[in-house]
Amino acid sequence: MNLYGGQVNKLIEELEGLPGIGSKSAQRLAFHLIGLPEEKVQRIANSMIEARKNVRYCSVCCTLTDKETCPVCSNPARDKSTIMVVETPRDLAAYEKTGRYEGVYHVLHGAISPMLGIGPSDIRLKELITRLEGDVKEVIIATNSSLEGETTAMYISKLVKPTGIKVSRIASGVPVGGDLEYIDEVTLYRALEGRVEL
Ligand code: ZN
């Protein structure tokens, strides 16, 4: 049904393709955008294009950044010998919000899922292994407590253990199947503090 003409429909369709946006939200967003002053829409569009163009993976931890290395990796005050492994840049942001973690991170960009056909080589594991050749004392596995997160944690611990580097897993307190992003800072910090050695 073409109620608004091709341009409006096209915009709605594009927005509908974004994660978490259903058809109702897409319509709402489309009408909101159309109602904004043109310069404002231009600014939004530009920031999307600029971010897409300039944002890449940090050469050390693989999180998203617009520099060669991200702010955490380039901060001399951070303890480079402790690496927390997370699934996504959003998980990294959640731990940073606690303000209590002084180590660095490694972002996998996913988790191993035999069911979805995602294997170890489909996530940023090789980069983690390379980092272990440096001066690393502990690897804290903070993947989600979903089946995929647990599978990934197991896989990493098997890889790291032979190197003699300490491997730990964040404690329970993080609900099963819980997405780290939605857990409050106190719970996250407790999970980190109560981590158990594998
Ligand atoms: Zn980094």
Q: What is the pLDDT of residues 147-156, one digit of tens each?
A: 899 999 999 9
Within a domain: 183: no
Q: How far is the CA of 70 from the centre of ligand 1 (A)?
A: 4
Q: How far is the CA of 2 from the centre of ligand 1 (A)?
A: 47
Within a domain: 125: yes
Residue partners of 125: CB distance under 8 A and separation at least 6: 108, 155, 156, 159
Residues, CB-to-ion distance under 5 Å, ligand 1: 58, 60-61, 70, 73
Within a domain: 120: yes
User: Looking at the 3D structure of the chain, how many domains does it have?
Assistant: 1
Q: How far is the CA of 163 from the centre of ligand 1 (A)?
A: 23
Please tell me the distance from the alpha carbon of residue 196 to that of residue 34, in angstroms, as a whole number. Answer: 52
H runs (alpha helix) in 137-184: 147-160
Within a domain: 139: yes
Q: How far is the CA of 72 from the centre of ligand 1 (A)?
A: 6
pLDDT at 5: 73
7: left (phi over 0), alpha (psi -120 to 50) or beta: alpha
Contact in structure between 64 and 89 (CB atoms under 8 Å): yes
Range of the domain at 86: 78-169
Calculate mean pLDDT across residues 38-57: 94
CATH classification at residue 91: 3.40.1360.10
Q: How far is the CA of 21 from the centre of ligand 1 (A)?
A: 30
CA distances from 167 to 155, 158, 189 (A): 12, 9, 18
Within a domain: 47: no
pLDDT over threshold 80, residue 186: no
- Can you give the pTM of this predicted structure? 0.78
Within a domain: 85: yes
Calculate mean pLDDT across residues 28-54: 94
Please tell me the distance from the alpha carbon of residue 22 to that of residue 20, in angstroms, as a whole number. Answer: 6
Q: How far is the CA of 131 from the centre of ligand 1 (A)?
A: 12
pLDDT at 172: 63
Calculate the CA 120 to chain-centre distance.
17
Q: How far is the CA of 30 from the centre of ligand 1 (A)?
A: 35
